[in-house]
Every structure is written in C-alpha cells, then in structure tokens.
C-alpha cells in the first residue's frame, strides 16, 4: 500500500478538475466531497506550488483518503504537494480566505483515520519537504523537514554514532509522528515523541508561521512561557501544519542484546516487567505478546517460538553493563516461571526477531484471509495491566472473534489487532463493541483510551469520558484561538 502511494505521489499531475466525484477503491463507501473548490482557487494554489503539485485526479485523492486503519475512506477535494514552508503558508492562506478545510498528510500510516477527509477539503501532502536540515552531534539534536521518514533519518545518522529511537514500527514521517505523539517499542527507555521534540515550526490555518520554542532554539530545557511545543505534539493536524521539527538524538549503544522468553500467564509476564523496572534495569524494549499473537508471529515469520504469553526484550549499554542487566532479568523471569529464553546477540538475529515483532499487524491479518486490521490502543497504570489484559482476553474469547494482543508492557500500553472482514458489518460491529469495552475498562482503571494512536475518527466518542466536559471545552477554546474558522482537520478528535 505504501509503495503504491509513493508511485502515485511521484506521478501526480494537475488533472481535469472533477469535484464531487468520490470513488471507493476498497471496502468502504468513500463519502462524496462537497463541490466547494472553484477553478480560480485551484489556479491560485497552482500559482504557489506549481501546476504539477496540485492534483484533483481521483487516483491521487483516493491515495489520500485513508490511512492504514479500517476506518471509512473519504476523499479530499484536492491534494497539494508543497516544497517549502513559504508554500505551505501561502496554501494555508488561500484555504483560509476561501474557508476550505486543510488536512495535513504525513505518510498515511496512522491507525485512527486521522487523514481521512471526512468533510472534503485540501489535503496537504508534506512528502516533498524531505530535507534533513541540520545535525548537531555534540548537542545530540537534529532538525528535519516534515516529510523526512524515521528510517531515512536513522540511515543518515548512522556514521555519526547517533540515532533517533522513537520507533512506531511503520516507517512514518517524523512530523506525522509529532502530530500523533507516536511512541512504540523503545518508549520504555527513551520516552515518546512528547519527550523528544525540542522545537516545531508550524503553519497556522491563516498562514502565519510560528516556532513553538522560538526560531532556531534547540535547548533540552526551557521554562519560557507556555509549552507550545507539546500543545502541537499529539494535535493530530487539528491546530496547524508542522513543517519542521527539532528532535533529540541519542548515542548508538555499544552493545545490544535481544531475547524472547515465555511465561505461564499474563500476570507472570507483567510481574516480571514490573520487578525488572523496580530494580532500575534500563530496559530498551520490553514487549508482551499473548499466545494468539505468538502463534500468528510464528506462522507469518516462519519461526518456532513457544506459543505462550511471551516477552520480547532488548538491552542496551556497554558490554559489561548489558551482561549484568541480562543476569538480573533472567533471574527475575525464572522466579516468575519464565522459560525458553532465546537470545539474539548478532545484528542479523536481532533484526529477524524485531522484524517478526514489527510485522505483527500483517501477521494478525494473515490469520484471516482478506481481512483488514482493526486496531485498538489503550494504556493503564502498569499495575492494572494484567487485569485489563486478562478481562480483554476473556471478552474476546466469549465473542468468538480472533484478537491477538501485543503490549508495550513497560509503559502499561497494549493493542489488539483484530483481523476483520470489512464487508461484514456484523463483524465490524462486534469488534467495535469489544474495542469500546476495552477502552472503558482502561478508563475505569485510571487509564487512557489511546496511549499512542490518537483519537482521530475512531475514539471521538470517548474523549469526554476521559478528559471531562470542562477539559474538552478548554481544548475546544484552545482550538478556536488557533484555528478560528475550524479549518484544520475539522471533525477529528472532538466529539
């Protein structure tokens, strides 16, 4: 799918303008976008970005009508491909003057329908802004344009001995990752995007450009005024278009060792995790896969791990330090009846192990032919994790659907990747109900309905329950202050 998108991106061209044409290439009826963009607006946009960088072609709009989730596809009226912040600013101003919705598009790997253009409008695809602008090895930071992908950055950084560890599995754009406050397998050690963004350049809906920490600033700490940076991190394109991000970097660890081990129960796996963290072991990764997911993983990646509740582990540090960490973790795991340790010391073995872990969405889909992923994402204080996972497993078993579970267990965060047949409304309904019950279970235990995928289209109905009416009201006031015409990714996040 992503490869296909890239092909379309490269071949974008200004086509005959056919508004109101909404076509669905896949399972869901893509809603018809209202006929609201005049040819003079299209000409104005083309004058800013160049004719070839504006497209109303149905194929291009289709490509921008959805992310990787199961949510219904909605076509934007138009897709533009700016190359500079000045172009983004002028595009936003034209949209502002003509009251056109703006949908920022990163790499479309989101899992909550964040880019789906529910009310039509202009999709701003940021992939042509793909320069790594600066790297300061001695300060452990870099500045990138919106379209730089995380793997591209890490390949670029390799010779400097530095890396950017936030790893949502998919090769997402770094500013898309800012927009969803992404995290992933390394968050237990390195934090989420919130902890790793030092500054953002943002274009507001009226075309004004701000630097959230001040132009060119890249300090690790600041007490100057409100934290605008973290207001935009996780804002899901509803407050502005992020065009540049200054990010924290880390030294590549001298030694890395990975392992997989199995446990007799969810409780035993989580107890081990809590005890490991209580001992101050700086785990780089500690990931939970339930027995259903391990089976899917074995089948998809041609492995033969034991089919049981398991932990995938990774240790970073100097050689001696890693040895000490491994010894403590092995002892704690054994105390909780952990067994079948499979160690991966060489890069090739480790890559194979983590590739299997990262391919779990596809492994889950392979359990059911023709299915699409319906993913859920909740997070609770870690002590509540066994209870929520066990109850969720019981709920899934009673409902009769397939629901493999994976968790960033060190953060109290877990997902179910339901393989659903999108043409079966009864299946979708059952999974949606399961997913809602899971979110409500997490909320009842002081948790959140989304640890990292965001609210998007899928969890709007849960926001008030989580934040409270007054909290949501204040969020809406903040949005109104920054986006008074409600043009930025309208309909997302808020109920």
Ligand X SMILES: Cc1cc2nc3c(=O)[nH]c(=O)nc-3n(C[C@H](O)[C@H](O)[C@H](O)COP(=O)(O)OP(=O)(O)OC[C@H]3O[C@@H](n4cnc5c(N)ncnc54)[C@H](O)[C@@H]3O)c2cc1C
412 forms part of the interface with ligand X (CB under 6 A):
no
Restricting to residues 277-336, name those near ligand X by CB under 6 A: none
119 forms part of the interface with ligand X (CB under 6 A):
no
Angle between helices 460-467 and 469-482 (to 10 degrees): 120
Give me the sign of the Cα torsion angle 419, 423, 425, 426: negative
Shorter beta-carbon distance to ligand X: residue 234 or 338? 234
402 forms part of the interface with ligand X (CB under 6 A):
no
> Shortest gap between Cβ of 375 and ligand X (angstroms)?
8
User: What's the rounded Cα separation, in Å, for the pair 2 and 324?
Assistant: 41
Angle at 327 between CA 322 and CA 331, to 5 degrees: 145
* Contact pattern for ligand X over residues 184 through 223, marking x by CB under 6 A: x---------------------------------------
Q: What kind and span of H or E run contains 180?
A: helix 174-180
Shorter beta-carbon distance to ligand X: residue 122 or 182? 182
> Shortest gap between Cβ of 493 and ligand X (angstroms)?
8
Which range touches ligand X (CB under 6 A), out of 111-119, 264-272, 342-350, 467-475?
A: 111-119
> Shortest gap between Cβ of 147 and ligand X (angstroms)?
8
The DSSP string of 119-172 is: T--EEEE-TT---EEEEEGGGTEEEEETT-BHHHHHHHHGGGTEE-----SS--
User: Is 454 in a helix, a strand, or coil?
Assistant: coil
C-alpha distances out from residue 99 to 34, 120, 124, 133, 488, Å:
13, 12, 15, 33, 10
User: What's the rounded Cα separation, in Å, for the pair 432 and 17?
Assistant: 37
Shorter beta-carbon distance to ligand X: residue 261 or 361? 361
Shorter beta-carbon distance to ligand X: residue 107 or 310? 107
> Shortest gap between Cβ of 65 and ligand X (angstroms)?
12
Q: What values do phi and psi take at 135, rounded to 5?
A: -130, 130
104 forms part of the interface with ligand X (CB under 6 A):
yes
C-alpha distances out from residue 118 to 29, 140, 281, 376, Å:
12, 40, 45, 21
How deeply is 485 buried, as exposed, middle or buried, from its count of CB atoms within 10 A (0-12, 13-18, 19+)? Answer: middle
> Shortest gap between Cβ of 127 and ligand X (angstroms)?
9
376 forms part of the interface with ligand X (CB under 6 A):
no
Is the CB of residue 293 less than 8 Å from the CB of residue 299? no
Residues 6+ apart with CB under 8 A from 9: 63, 81, 125, 127
Residues 6+ apart with CB under 8 A from 12: 52, 53, 55, 57, 60, 79, 81
* Contact pattern for ligand X over residues 16 through 35, marking x by CB under 6 A: --------------------
C-alpha distances out from residue 121 to 9, 182, 240, Å:
18, 25, 15
103 forms part of the interface with ligand X (CB under 6 A):
yes
> Shortest gap between Cβ of 359 and ligand X (angstroms)?
8
125 forms part of the interface with ligand X (CB under 6 A):
no
Angle at 296 between CA 293 and CA 300, to 5 degrees: 140
> Shortest gap between Cβ of 142 and ligand X (angstroms)?
16
Chosen residue from 237, 386, 404, 490 binding ligand X by CB under 6 A: 237
* Contact pattern for ligand X over residues 152 through 181, marking x by CB under 6 A: ----------------xxx-xx-xxx-xx-
Which range touches ligand X (CB under 6 A), out of 34-42, 107-115, 278-286, 426-434?
A: 107-115
> Shortest gap between Cβ of 264 and ligand X (angstroms)?
26
User: Is 202 in a helix, a strand, or coil?
Assistant: strand
414 forms part of the interface with ligand X (CB under 6 A):
no
Restricting to residues 57-96, name those near ligand X by CB under 6 A: 67-68
> Shortest gap between Cβ of 173 and ligand X (angstroms)?
3
Determine the residue with CB nearest ligand X. Answer: 176
483 forms part of the interface with ligand X (CB under 6 A):
no
Chosen residue from 28, 56, 109, 301 binding ligand X by CB under 6 A: 109
Chain residues in the site for ligand X (CB under 6 A): 67-68, 103-111, 114-115, 126, 146, 168-170, 172-173, 175-177, 179-180, 182-184, 236-237, 241-242, 361, 452-453, 489, 492
């Amino acid at each position: 799918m992503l490869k296909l998108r890239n092909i379309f991106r490269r071949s974008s061209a200004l086509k005959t303008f056919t508004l109101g044409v909404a076509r669905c290439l896949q399972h869901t009826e893509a809603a018809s976008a209202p006929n609201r963009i005049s040819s003079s607006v299209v000409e104005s946009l083309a004058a800013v970005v160049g004719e070839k960088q504006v497209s109303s072609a149905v194929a291009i709009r289709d490509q921008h009508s959805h992310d990787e989730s199961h949510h219904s596809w909605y076509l934007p009226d138009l897709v533009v491909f700016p190359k500079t912040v000045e172009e983004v600013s002028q595009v936003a101003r034209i949209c502002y003057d003509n009251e056109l919705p703006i949908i920022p598009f990163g790499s479309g790997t989101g899992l909550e329908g964040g880019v789906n253009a529910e009310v039509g409008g202009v999709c701003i695809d940021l992939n042509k802004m793909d320069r790594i602008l600066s790297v300061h090895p001695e300060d452990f930071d870099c500045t990138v344009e919106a379209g730089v992908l995380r793997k591209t950055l890490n390949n670029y950084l390799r010779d400097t001995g530095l890396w950017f560890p936030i790893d949502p599995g998919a090769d997402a754009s770094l500013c898309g990752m800012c927009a969803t406050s992404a995290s992933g397998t390394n968050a237990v050690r390195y934090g989420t995007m919130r902890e790793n963004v030092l500054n953002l350049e943002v274009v507001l809906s009226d075309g004004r450009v701000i630097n959230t920490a001040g132009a060119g600033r890249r300090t690790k700490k600041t007490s100057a005024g409100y934290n605008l940076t973290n207001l935009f991190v996780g804002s899901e394109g509803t407050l502005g278009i992020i065009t540049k991000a200054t990010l924290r970097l880390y030294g590549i660890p001298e030694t890395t060792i990975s392992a997989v081990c199995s446990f007799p129960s969810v409780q035993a796996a989580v107890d081990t995790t809590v005890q490991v963290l209580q001992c101050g072991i700086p785990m780089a990764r500690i990931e939970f896969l339930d027995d259903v997911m391990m089976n899917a993983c074995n089948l998809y990646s041609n492995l033969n791990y034991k089919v049981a509740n398991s932990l995938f582990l990774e240790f970073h540090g100097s050689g001696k330090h890693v040895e000490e960490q491994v010894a403590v973790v092995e002892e704690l795991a054994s105390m909780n009846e952990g067994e079948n340790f499979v160690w991966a010391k060489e890069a090739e073995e480790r890559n194979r192990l983590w590739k299997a872990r990262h391919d779990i969405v596809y492994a889950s889909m392979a359990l059911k032919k023709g299915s699409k992923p319906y993913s859920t994402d909740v997070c609770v204080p870690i002590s509540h994790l066994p209870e929520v996972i066990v109850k969720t497993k019981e709920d899934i078993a009673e409902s009769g659907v397939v629901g493999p579970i994976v968790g960033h267990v060190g953060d109290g965060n877990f997902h179910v990747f339901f393989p659903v047949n999108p043409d079966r409304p009864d299946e979708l309904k059952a999974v949606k109900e399961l997913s809602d019950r899971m979110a409500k279970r997490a909320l009842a235990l002081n948790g959140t309905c989304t640890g990292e995928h965001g609210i998007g289209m899928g969890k709007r109905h849960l926001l008030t329950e989580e934040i409270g009416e007054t909290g949501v009201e204040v969020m809406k006031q903040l949005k109104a202050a920054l986006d008074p015409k409600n043009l930025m990714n309208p309909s997302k996040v808020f109920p």
